[in-house]
Amino acid sequence: MFGTTLVLALRSIRRHLLRSCLTTLGLVIGVAAVVTMVTLGNATAAAVQAQIANLGTNVLHLHPTGGFARGGGGPPPPAFKPADVIAIERQIAGVTAVAPQAQASAVAVRDGNNWSTTIFGMSNAYFTVQPWPLADGRIFTRDEEEGGKAVCIVGNTVRTKLFGEESPIGRRFRLGGVSCQVVGLLTPKGQAGFGGGDQDDHVIMPVKTVARRFVGTPDIRAMLVGVDAAYDSDQVKDSLSGLLRERRLVQPGQEDNFLIVDPKQVSETLAGATTLLTGVVTAVAAISLIVGGIGIMNIMLVSVTERTREIGIRLAIGALAHEVRMQFLVEAVVLSCLGGVIGLVVAQLAVLAIAPVMQVSWRFDPAINLVAFVVAAAIGVIFGFVPARRAAALNPIDALRHE
């Protein structure tokens, strides 16, 4: 029974192939739009989470801020002092390590190879607070840190530009006029998402070395503060805020002249915003599904009118009303399922084309594709029911008289 009905539905669709394709077009667009938006939204959220994860877990980022008047004028924000690092380590409970940072730019030169790169002044605490394994070599010794020695740990891009595929460990190159010995090589991280640049294109040196030889001041432009997982990061933030306000002479009622960033909170905020935006865009795209369903109902009503005499003959020779209803309902469901399948294929092709442009990676999500297909089939049932019921309700005598 059902097999015969399915064959009749497929024959009817093939008989009016162009009309059937145009009928399913709205559903194709709707399914493709919804699946594409959800897939890219999930990929974007995953990329954001990965970028936030690169900032470290249980880490607080401290930056000086404030001091600028409206329009961009005014003095720069006051930097942190080395004594601030010591005070945080000794006075704030729950802090595992504090990594001060300095930054400069310079041209690295070796055997005629020049490469402009970024220098980060770090202490060994950086590798504790924000673990970044070494592919080769070692981190700094205490004497190298305290004495501000000209030693460095290079990223993979710098290694490639200056040394090719050779091991740089123990070799020297000039960095902005300073002869630097390579003691370590960082594991590659590759390009950061959303145009964040090459994460391997930098050189790490002891913070005192960068302060003396490149920056010219011991001031610290940023700090990474490791937080013990057993402590509440909000309480540690409050303690840090109180200590820094006191040390930086911020008066009661004045705004902080520093910023404390918690990657966990940033991650939660961005994840929520991405989910909301994806939901809104998906809801807008889902309107196409309704439009596609209306198109199917419209064409099926036309089909009932065109085939009134055929329906009358079937009823006159003994076909039951529910059999006629089933035939038209199956036609509507087949049309909607075909539209759903084509829409899924179009969505995957669209994602393959757009994902590289957005610099996000994605994986096939069976759940969203299955849900989209089921919704497409359900639309065929919902919007095909009215035409099917109308066909089943025809009077055989009136239907046979129809011209």
- 9 has pLDDT over 70: no
- 48 has pLDDT over 80: no
pTM here? 0.62
Long-range contact set of residues 355-362: C-beta below 8 Å, sequence gap at least 24? 355/40, 355/43, 358/40, 358/43, 358/44, 359/47, 359/191, 359/193, 359/194, 359/195, 360/40, 360/43, 360/44, 360/46, 360/47, 360/193, 361/43, 361/46, 361/47, 362/39, 362/40, 362/42, 362/43, 362/46
Average pLDDT over residues 327-334: 81
pLDDT (tens digit per residue) in 208-245: 999 988 988 888 888 989 888 888 888 888 899 999 98
Q: Rounded mean pLDDT of the chain?
A: 82
Residue 403: name the closest of 301, 315, 308, 302 by CA. 308
The rounded distance, in Å, linking the Cα atoms of 283 and 87 is 52
* Residue 70 confidence (pLDDT): 42
pLDDT (tens digit per residue) in 60-88: 889 888 544 444 445 667 889 889 999 99
- 363 has pLDDT over 90: no
Q: How is residue 250 annotated by DSSP?
A: P
Asked if 40 and 360 count as a contact pair (C-beta separation under 8 A), the reply is yes
- 196 has pLDDT over 60: no
Segment among 64-73, 166-175, 187-196 with least mean pLDDT: 64-73
Average pLDDT over residues 195-215: 85
- 154 has pLDDT over 90: yes
Average pLDDT over residues 90-108: 90
Average pLDDT over residues 328-341: 84
- 192 has pLDDT over 70: no
The rounded distance, in Å, linking the Cα atoms of 196 and 118 is 14
